[in-house]
Structure 1
Amino acid sequence: MSVPAVPGWPGVAASAALVALAALLAGRARLGLAADMLVASARALGQLVAVAAVLAAVFAHGGLPGSLAWIAVMVLIAGRVAARRARGLPRAPAVATLAVAMATVVTVATLVVFAVIDTRPHVLIPVSGMVVSGAMQATALTLTRLHEEVETARPRIEARLSLGLDAAAAFAPHARTALRTAMLPAVDATKVVGLISLPGAMTGLILAGVEPLIAIRYQIVVMYMLLAAATLAAVATARLARTALFDDAHRLHELPAPPDGRSSPR
Structure 2
Amino acid sequence: MNPAVPTWAGVAASFALVVLTAAVAWRQRLGLVRDIAVAAVRAGAQLAAVGAVLLLVFRHTGLAGASGWLALMVLIAGRVAARRAAGIPRVLGIAMAAVAAGTAATLGTLLTLGVITAQARVVIPVGGMVVSTAMQATALVLVRLRDEARTARPAIEVRLALGLPAADAFAPHLRDTLRTALIPAIDSTKTVGLISLPGAMTGLVLAGANPLTAIRYQIVVMYMLLAAAALAALTAARLAERTLFDDAHRLRPLAVEPGRPHA
TM-score, structure 2 length as denominator?
A: 0.96
Contact 2:99 2:138 in 1 (8 A): yes
Alpha-carbon displacement from aligned partner over 1:125-183 (angstroms, at most 9, x marks no partner): 11011000000011111111112111211111111111111111111111112111111
Percent of aligned positions with the same letter in both sequences? 63
How far, CA to CA, are the matches of 2:209 and 2:25 in structure 1? 38
* CA distance in 2 between partners of 1:258 and 1:73 (Å): 26
- Provide the aligned length of Structure 1 versus Structure 2: 263
Q: Shift of the alpha carbon at 1:33?
A: 2.4
Post-superposition offset of 1:30: 2.6
Aligned counterpart, 2:67: 68
Structure-2 residue corresponding to 1:40? 39
Partner residue, 1:222: 221
How many angstroms does 1:261 deviate by? 7.7
Counterpart position of 1:111 = 110
Paired AA for residue 115 in structure 1: G
Using the alignment, how far apart are the partners of 1:143 and 1:238 within structure 2? Answer: 7
In structure 2, the residue matched to 1:170 is 169
**AA partner of residue 24 (structure 2):** L
Instruction: State the AA in 1 paired with 2:204.
Output: L
Aligned residue for 2:80?
81
Shift of 1:28: 2.0
1:71 is paired with a residue whose SS is: helix
SS in 2 for 1:119: coil
Q: Residue type of the partner of 2:69?
A: W
Are the aligned partners of 2:81 and 2:136 in contact in 1 as well (CA < 8 Å)? Answer: yes
Equivalent residue number for residue 134 of structure 1: 133
Moved more, 155-164 or 211-220: 155-164
Q: CA RMSD in A?
A: 1.5
Partner of 2:199: 200
Normalization by structure 1: what TM-score?
0.95
8 Å contact 2:2–2:207 — kept in the other structure?
no
SS of equivalent to 1:251: coil
User: Secondary structure in 2 aligned to 1:126?
Assistant: helix
How far is the alpha carbon of 1:236 from its aligned partner? 0.7
One-letter amino acid of the counterpart of residue 77, structure 1: I
Range that drifts further, 119-128 or 35-44: 35-44
Q: Contact 2:73–2:131 at 8 Å: present in 1 too?
A: yes
Q: Separation in 2 of the partners of 1:30 and 1:140?
A: 32
**Structure 1, unpaired ranges of 5+:** none
Question: Partners of 1:23 and 1:168 in 2: how far apart?
Answer: 50
Mapping 1:118-157, distance limit 5 Å: 118-157=117-156
Contact 2:57 2:65 in 1 (8 A): yes
- The answer to whether the Cα contact below 8 Å between 2:18 and 2:40 also exists between their aligned partners in 1 is yes
Three-state SS of the structure 2 residue aligned to 1:241 is helix
